[in-house]
Amino acid sequence: MELIYTNQLEGFDPDKRYRTASLFRGIERDATAVVVVGDYPDIVAAYEAAGVDVSVEEAPAAPLPSAKVPASDELADEVAKLRAENGAVILLLDGLDAGEIQQPGFGELATRLFEALGIIHASVGELTTERDGLLLTVDALRGEVEALKRAVPEPPANEAGEIAALKVKLDAANVQYRANASKESLEKLIAELPKA
């Protein structure tokens, strides 16, 4: 089997077998002939040592820059702008880590990020104020409920206590009643007492 070692990205012949030259780790035992495209002496030496025919071809030249590719001066300017932008974002993030939002003096992206963080900060402040107001309202309502509870007189502990109080009044008036008399019958007896 013939193998072609290359780093090309396109223009492959479907009837041939290709391997990526930069990923070479060892020979393939069933190879009968090898073509190496480019300067890869380790591939050549490995296959020659195994007794496989090896031919070397020169790698195609890289295409010349077209009008779409910026000149090196333009690239340097873009890299400088990106580094400045990166520096501004780093300054902004360092300020946030320190607990402060500091407006960057430069960088479009950093300035936009600062403005967005300012809006978020203001929204959180409004929510905090609203939450604190609700807490005060809840505390006031709790106070009103407690005041209303204190204003309502305590009801008698239970009906047995009321019955006992009625029996004390009847005993004081020397009125006879059954020991198991109901609350209603005791109230009726008290109502019949002469007014003094």
Per-residue pLDDT tens digits for 100-154: 777 777 778 888 888 888 888 889 889 988 888 888 888 888 888 888 877 766 5
Going by pLDDT thresholds of 50, 70 and 90, the confidence category of residue 70 is low
My answer on whether 99 and 128 are in the same domain is: yes
Indicate whether 66 belongs to any domain: no
- 41-79 exposure pattern, b = at least 16 Cβ within 10 A, e = fewer: eebbebbeeeebebebeeeeeeeeeeeeeeeeeeeeeee
My answer on whether 101 and 40 are in the same domain is: no
Indicate whether 65 belongs to any domain: no
My answer on whether 84 and 125 are in the same domain is: yes
My answer on whether 95 and 51 are in the same domain is: no
| Percent of the residues in the chain that have a pLDDT greater than 90, as a whole number | 22
Indicate whether 98 belongs to any domain: yes
pTM score? 0.34
Indicate whether 67 belongs to any domain: no
Residue 43 has pLDDT above 90, yes or no: yes
Angle subtended at Cα 181 by Cα 178 and Cα 187, rounded to the nearest 5 degrees: 115
Q: What is the pLDDT of residues 9-37, one digit of tens each?
A: 888 888 899 999 888 889 988 899 999 99
Indicate whether 64 belongs to any domain: no
If one counts the domains in the chain, the total is 3
My answer on whether 32 and 78 are in the same domain is: no
Alpha helices for 25-179 (secondary structure H): 41-49, 72-97, 108-151, 159-172
pLDDT of residue 162: 85
Indicate whether 19 belongs to any domain: yes
Domain around 169: 159-191
Nearest by Cα to 166 from 143, 150, 189: 189
Indicate whether 154 belongs to any domain: no
Between 57 and 152, residue with greater pLDDT: 57
Q: What is the CA radius of gyration of the chain?
A: 49
